[in-house]
Structure 1
């Protein structure tokens, strides 16, 4: 049976070719191929009446076939099809010619926007070569753009799987849960979140290998793709302070956080200074965006008939009260997690705290886009490597996509009523809350932690930062009896 820690007499690295890492990477490639096939119905072409090729999204194919991807419509909407246009500099117009016409810019963080622009330009180069050479495969520009973008996202996820494997050398099959996740098959090409995930995961790997500056830079760069890698800085600070209380140096923690701040400023500053209005578009849109259908606030409003914190809003009016409530609730959760980290009988593992913080952000945020669940996959595997539990959660989370797609169809198109979709959202949220409960339990009772049960302390924290990897009663403020069930300490060598 595949999975679990290595046995006493296990021999690692003796296989001629099929090592655990290669098997896991092969699984990852297979799931990525499945993810491509899932989106392929939305990449079909047809001939219009005048003989021109067009993308076949007729009769709401993107919802009926459940193949929708933001990548496809953004190609036209964000002016990526125009080689002369540059994100954040050149605007586009929403509802052009209508009374509510709005000037819009690239709506993504800087590096995600530049990734889209770069993929579009690579697609232009490919199409130019295909026209000159004649034998290169080609298609509509938007399909070539999707393909180029997907290649980068696939490589990012493969690197994520590798990083999780490197973080758990004594549990090499844990990475298979990342590779085998149903969420990969459904959402790896729905948006661009794999880019942030690989930065966050490799940042954790750099930290574990005692490279705090690199770790911070990777987390900061990840913040240029999506906000969530920056959330991991909170757990880094909590673990660093807790170990500093036990006599460990705080300098590496400070260097990690400082490098992250430098990284995120470095990737944002050039665009923010050159095109401040375009750069601010991401933040403006997040302020004015209402509660997403995947959020708890929308579900509560639908099932209760409640009008929400802000009542009826005019088009473009920000839900100020909802924004404040969501932020306050998240801050309160972070305070609770900080208290948990400070009062736990043993210093919590970094991955455990990171999973709790990111989960709280998703659960309490007004937007939980389906692909955001990819953020949790590596963190969940690192925090709670229990195969059946994680696969059950990931399957439920992936299944939310089915009623979500049919939620956008009309009754005449055999669409589903909102109850089906919002009910599965509640199931997903309940599953994530249950996982959080198990992680909290492993923090309060270290003997139940699957990683610590095999003798590890915190493999995501470098042992060379002053004997951090070894537990010692002199370094903790709790008696030995509180942690004796957690197994033998890790040898820092």
Structure 2
């Protein structure tokens, strides 16, 4: 098939020769690591091998299943809920799923929203209710451990399915999905909350849309938004790209179907349990600065900045004003909204005016990343939102691993901070060396902020210089744009047909 070969413009060689891309050939990090097992795939090697069991999809899914099992084991020490001596922090196994068994009155057989307000969107509440009521019916108030394990296994199943979806979206780059399968932060945060439900549904939506299945994509998108609100952020990039490609119809159809699906899920609770249903929206408007956010970092320096007043006259007054402003919830809401809108304006400019239309995954990653960078809440498990989007936007291992290291530093710093603020004179912290001063936690927060910002800058650079985009070297146009493409169908793998062999 014909395809635009951008290497003729840039002078760079194409990494594909009609076969799926082998990362040991095209990625410097993987190429270096491959030396431990004999070096990169040779030019006479087959990829994928014929008539062999270990084809790429099986390798990737096996890795995903192993990581899911390890994630389940990592949270296992906290599954019974009998946390003593700050076990949930010293063993890094805290889980909202287990903690909220009692807090949401699931141990009493309460029906979410109807009997008790829930701080999560409707589909997540339904998920909680199904397993909560089943566990209570079987074991009564002692069903918390069963409730956790049932929830965790199903959520991890969504995680494995998300890996399969990413694989399906990149048939020409099958090992891109391995980045999601083995990401360290998936192992550590998969069981913290119910986010994998929304992450899986979002990946299903992106895969369905890439294949041109607009109705199915709209339904999956609506379900994803009903589980967590962050998939709603996809609407802006989708509509902007549709406008640029002059194909608004499919994007508007998917958006309308998603809105109808969301309403269908939420309507019973809106009508018959409005107070419990509204709790999610009220909580988000009432929340102040959360751990580790950019605003938390700024407030920390506002607190300590007054000590420089002798050197910089007037800094003390400015520091006091800034500290008071950040602690005023209504003002904070406006500040982070303005910051996010300004970032989105820049992303919209890229979508509409970059020399080459950006890929959908690139824009979605940028919007979700800036939402976290500018937001007042940045929970540890929100990294799960970004990992599949980062893989689809920029499947290069080096900066991906740098970002994961930043997230790891924050993860361990966060649990040390929780241990620090939770200890009391009656319950001293264990002698694990985990209690840290506040400035250390702030440094880990800065590490997370900086490493994600570096990855955002790299994606923007790929948008401005498409020759750097490894996905564009493998595919014709955008493999995720589906019905937005001028041809009206999903992008296909760019296959360069080799010249016919001459007989001897």
Q: Does 1:156 align with 2:158?
A: yes
> Structure 1: 5+ residue runs without aligned partners?
45-54, 92-104, 129-138, 472-486
Q: Provide the rounded CA distance (Å) in 1 between the counterparts of 2:440 and 2:134.
A: 41
Quick one: which of 94, 116, 125 aligns to 1:68?
94
Q: Provide the rounded CA distance (Å) in 2 between the counterparts of 1:185 and 1:15.
A: 32
| Richer in helix (by share) | 2
Residue 307 to residue 206, structure 1, CA distance change in 2 (3 Å)? farther
Q: Provide the rounded CA distance (Å) in 2 between the counterparts of 1:4 and 1:264.
A: 44
Q: Provide the rounded CA distance (Å) in 2 between the counterparts of 1:312 and 1:332.
A: 20
Pairwise CA distance, 1:392: 2.3
Match of 2:14 in 1: none
Q: Provide the rounded CA distance (Å) in 2 between the counterparts of 1:404 and 1:72.
A: 19
Quick one: which of 213, 219, 222 aligns to 1:220?
222
**CA RMSD for the aligned pairs?**
2.6
Residue 435 of structure 1 aligns to a residue whose secondary structure is helix
Pairwise CA distance, 1:125: 5.1
Residue 441 of structure 1 aligns to a residue whose secondary structure is helix
1:461-472 → structure 2 map (5 Å cutoff): 461-462=481-482, 465-467=485-487
Q: Is this contact kept in 1: 2:410–2:448, CA < 8 A?
A: yes
1:400-440 CA distance string (max 9 Å, x none): 11111111224741511122222111111111111111111
Match of 1:119 in 2: 131
Compute the TM-score of the two structures, normalised by the length of structure 1: 0.83
Quick one: which of 446, 449, 459 aligns to 1:439?
459
Q: Is this contact kept in 1: 2:407–2:448, CA < 8 A?
A: yes
1:114-193 → structure 2 map (5 Å cutoff): 114-124=126-136, 127=139, 140-193=142-195
Compute the TM-score of the two structures, normalised by the length of structure 2: 0.81
Residue 8 to residue 303, structure 1, CA distance change in 2 (3 Å)? farther
1:226-273 CA distance string (max 9 Å, x none): 1111111111111111111xxxx3211111111111121111111111
1:299-310 → structure 2 map (5 Å cutoff): 299-305=297-303, 306=319
1:417-472 CA distance string (max 9 Å, x none): 1222221111111111111111111111110101012343111012685415799x
Aligned residues: 435
Match of 2:281 in 1: 283
Q: Provide the rounded CA distance (Å) in 1 between the counterparts of 2:392 and 2:398.
A: 15
1:182-261 → structure 2 map (5 Å cutoff): 182-244=184-246, 249-261=247-259
Q: Is this contact kept in 1: 2:295–2:326, CA < 8 A?
A: no
Quick one: which of 410, 422, 425 aligns to 1:400?
410
Q: Provide the rounded CA distance (Å) in 2 between the counterparts of 1:42 and 1:312.
A: 38
Match of 1:476 in 2: none
Q: Provide the rounded CA distance (Å) in 1 between the counterparts of 2:232 and 2:401.
A: 26
Q: Is this contact kept in 2: 1:310–1:322, CA < 8 A?
A: no
Q: Does 1:343 align with 2:353?
A: yes
Q: Does 1:21 align with 2:57?
A: yes
Residue 85 of structure 2 aligns to a residue whose secondary structure is helix
| More contact order relative to length (CA 8 Å, sep ≥ 6) | 2
Residue 295 to residue 468, structure 1, CA distance change in 2 (3 Å)? same
